[in-house]
Amino acid sequence: MTKHAFLEGMGLGILAGAAIGMAVAAKPKGKMDMQKAAHRAARRLERMKDDLTDVMGL
């Protein structure tokens, strides 16, 4: 059980969904606001990934 294809696929799907959601729902405020929002979203996804791996014991 050294390969975790399902988890990798889930992670990529979540990242892709978040990126598409940000692109569709974002209001054109300016470049800096979008960069801040993207960094915040990336941090949240990283924390969620860490929490998921901790819960699953990986």
The tens-digit pLDDT sequence of the chain (58 residues) is 456 778 788 888 888 888 888 777 756 666 667 788 888 988 988 888 888 888 877 6
pLDDT computed for residue 30 by the predictor? 63
**Where is 36: in which H helix or E strand?**
helix 31-56
pLDDT given at position 22: 76
Report the pLDDT value the prediction gives residue 1, as an integer from 0 to 100.
47
pTM of the predicted protein model: 0.45
3-state SS class at 2: coil
As a whole number of angstroms, the distance between CA 30 and CA 6 comes to: 37
**What is the C-alpha separation between 13 and 15, in angstroms, rounded?**
5
